[in-house]
């Protein structure tokens, strides 16, 4: 009877682990040693899940993926690829040691109750804790081993494992500059929104397309670096930039003073400005800003970028319709959700050629003058190297040819 009660109690505890967060939620861990301990504490539920599924503890393919993702994520904080790799290898070895310990224990007394769901329940917490650990890795020099050892008293984790993990933690190093990071890691992270033709967007088949996609690929080759794409958006562009999420922003980014205060821009690779696009049967109605800014006129705009900044400052009487996504805004316009949109002339050219029912209402005229550039951190050496790639493209006329090809290609793709 007593044995049955113990088993039932184990079943209840395990069930609670499934329906509630397992101990060690990242947001509760203020210190890196606590976050590491919380992640290691998840290894018993991981082992339980593998035991029930009859899966091996060792999964070298999965380990390679985890380390590769950690290396890329570590670059956001300037952490060297070697030290990130060493630390996560030590963390994986510690995790496997705990799992082996529980597999050994369960040979005599198998675990009771339902196993937690590794994919749905445990892995999201592992990822969250992993991100938090990475964000704190660069400031661990003053951490004493005694404090680390006390925090990581996890059943199944030996002193040798603790020492190896602490040594890897103490060996974390940072690149002195972004340019040296790209040189040493041979990884170039490019941030792009994938919603702005002809600069960067997704094709019908989900492939990256656009002028900046082509240029980023060529730039990575020029820098002898592997290209890694980073997704960003217009509302989060500068926040992502500040956080170090990417090395260079390439998505038809307008050169404006607020952005230029925080980073460097390359030489403009496109000159243009804002102009309206409307239903073709209304194109003679909206031939000036005065004609647009009237009561009852609906102007659709995507959030977070220079389009929104412009209409908010220029329109006083017209109704501004804020559409949540740039990738679907022209479909909304075509569906009659608004009378017109004010956007960059190059995008107007693409969309007027893509859709028979949309036309520019001020062809050849601009409401603003606004140029495009690539956004970089304030690293003169990096800017110099990127300009060494971009300058000859502009001077030779190759950039104009690539731009014309990108416009023609974007106009052919329907969504």
Together in a domain, 229 and 334: no
| Residue 308 included in any domain | yes
Q: Are residues 282 and 266 in the same domain?
A: no
Q: How far apart are CA 218 and CA 405, in angstroms?
A: 16
In angstroms, the CA 251 to CA 197 distance is 9
State the average pLDDT over residues 16-24: 37
**Is 213 a domain residue?**
yes
C-alpha dist (Å) from residue 14 to 20, 34, 115, 325, 392: 10, 23, 7, 42, 63
| Residue after which a domain boundary falls, among 170, 198, 232 | 170
- Domain check: are 165 and 216 in the same one? no
86 and 136 assigned to the same domain: yes
Q: Angle at the Cα of 397 (from 393 to 402), degrees rounded to 5? A: 75
Q: How confident is the model at residue 325 (pLDDT cuts 50, 70, 90)?
A: confident
Residue 4 has pLDDT above 80, yes or no: no
Q: What is the dihedral of CA 313, 314, 320, 324, to 10 degrees?
A: -60
CB atoms within 10 A of CB 217: 13
Beta-carbon contacts of 91 under 8 Å, excluding residues fewer than 6 positions away, are: 36, 39, 40, 165, 168
pLDDT of residue 414: 57
* Residue, of 11 and 265, whose pLDDT is higher: 265
For residues 97 and 145, state if they share a domain: yes
Query: What's the mean pLDDT in 125-137?
Result: 91
Question: Are the C-beta atoms of residues 276 and 340 closer than 8 Å to each other?
Answer: yes
What one-character-per-residue DSSP string does 47-77 give? HHHHHHHT--S--HHHHHHHHHHHHHHHHTT
| Residue 160 maps to a domain | yes
Q: Are residues 314 and 349 in the same domain?
A: yes
Q: The whole model's pTM is what?
A: 0.85
Q: Does residue 175 form part of some domain?
A: no
User: What range does the domain containing 284 cover?
Assistant: 274-368
Note whether residue 356 is domain-resident.
yes
Are 361 and 280 in a shared domain? yes
Q: 322: domain CATH number?
A: 3.40.190.10
Residues 38-57 pLDDT 10s = 999 999 999 999 999 999 99
Residue 352 lies in a domain: yes
pLDDT of 7 higher than 50 = no
Give, for 248, the enclosing helix (H) or strand (E).
strand 248-254
pLDDT digits (tens, 9 = 90+) for 234-291: 999 999 999 999 999 999 999 999 999 999 999 999 999 999 999 999 999 999 999 9
Q: Does 161 lie in the same domain as 115? A: yes
Same domain, 109 and 236: no
CATH number of domain containing 104: 1.20.59.10
Examine the domain organization and report whether 19 and 85 are in the same domain: yes
DSSP string, 266-277: PSPSEEE-EEEE
325 belongs to a structural domain: yes
pLDDT tops 80 at residue 328: yes
Specify the pLDDT at position 21: 39
pLDDT at 396 over 90: yes
**Residue 15 in this model has a pLDDT that exceeds 80:** no
Same domain, 250 and 384: yes
Let me know if residue 81 belongs to a domain.
yes
Q: Quick one: pLDDT at residue 30?
A: 73
pLDDT at 200 over 60: yes
Distances (CA, A) of 195 to 102, 157, 284: 49, 48, 28
pLDDT at residue 98 in the model:
98
Per the prediction, the chain carries an average pLDDT of 91
Predicted pLDDT at 326 = 84
Neighbouring CB atoms inside 10 A of 363's CB total 14
**How do residues 147-194 score in pLDDT, each as one tens digit?**
999 999 999 999 999 999 999 999 999 999 999 999 999 999 999 999
**pLDDT score for 255:** 96
Give 281's DSSP letter: G
How many domains does the chain fold into? 3
Domain boundary among the residues 143, 170, 197 is at 170
Q: Which segment of 53-57, 295-299, 389-393 scores lowest on mean pLDDT?
A: 53-57
pLDDT tens-digit map of 57-86 = 999 999 999 999 999 999 999 999 999 999
Question: What gap in Å lies between CA 76 and CA 88, rounded to an integer?
Answer: 16
Q: Do 248 and 317 lie in a common domain? A: no
Over residues 347-376, mean pLDDT = 96
């Amino acid at each position: 009877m007593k044995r049955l009660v113990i088993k039932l109690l184990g079943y209840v505890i395990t069930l609670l682990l499934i329906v509630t967060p397992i101990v060690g939620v990242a947001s509760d861990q203020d210190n890196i040693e606590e976050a590491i301990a919380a992640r290691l504490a998840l290894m018993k539920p991981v082992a339980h899940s593998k035991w029930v599924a009859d899966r091996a503890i060792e999964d070298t393919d999965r380990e390679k993926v985890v380390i590769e993702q950690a290396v890329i994520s570590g670059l956001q904080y300037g952490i060297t690829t070697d030290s990130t790799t060493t630390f996560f290898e030590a963390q994986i070895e510690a995790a496997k040691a705990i799992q082996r310990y529980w597999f050994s224990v369960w040979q005599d007394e198998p675990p009771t109750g339902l196993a937690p769901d590794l994919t749905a329940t445990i892995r999201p917490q592992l990822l969250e804790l992993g991100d938090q650990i990475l964000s704190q890795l660069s400031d661990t020099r003053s951490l004493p081993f005694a404090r680390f050892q006390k925090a990581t008293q996890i059943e199944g984790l030996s002193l040798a494992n603790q020492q190896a993990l602490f040594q890897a933690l103490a060996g974390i190093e940072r690149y002195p500059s972004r340019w040296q990071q790209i040189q040493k890691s041979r990884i170039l992270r490019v941030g792009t929104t994938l919603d702005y033709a002809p600069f960067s967007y997704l094709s019908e088949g989900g492939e990256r397309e656009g002028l900046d996609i082509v240029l980023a690929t060529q730039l990575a080759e020029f820098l002898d670096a592997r290209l890694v794409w980073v997704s960003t958006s217009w509302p989060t562009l500068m926040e992502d930039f500040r956080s170090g999420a990417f090395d260079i922003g390439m998505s038809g980014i307008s050169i404006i003073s607020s952005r230029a205060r925080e980073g460097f821009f390359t030489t403009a690779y496109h000159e243009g400005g804002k102009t309206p696009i409307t239903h073709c049967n209304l194109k003679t109605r909206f031939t000036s800003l005065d004609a647009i800014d009237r009561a009852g006129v609906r102007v659709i705009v995507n959030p977070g970028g220079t389009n929104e900044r412009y209409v908010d400052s220029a329109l006083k009487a017209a109704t501004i319709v804020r559409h949540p996504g740039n990738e679907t805004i022209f479909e909304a316009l075509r569906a009659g959700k608004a009378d017109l949109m004010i956007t960059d002339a190059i995008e107007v050219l693409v969309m007027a050629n893509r859709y028979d029912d949309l036309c520019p209402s001020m062809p050849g005229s601009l409401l603003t003058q606004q140029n495009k550039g690539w956004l970089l951190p304030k690293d003169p050496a990096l800017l110099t190297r990127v300009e060494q790639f971009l300058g000859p493209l502009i001077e030779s006329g190759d950039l104009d040819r690539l731009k014309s090809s990108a416009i023609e290609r974007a106009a052919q793709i329907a969504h």
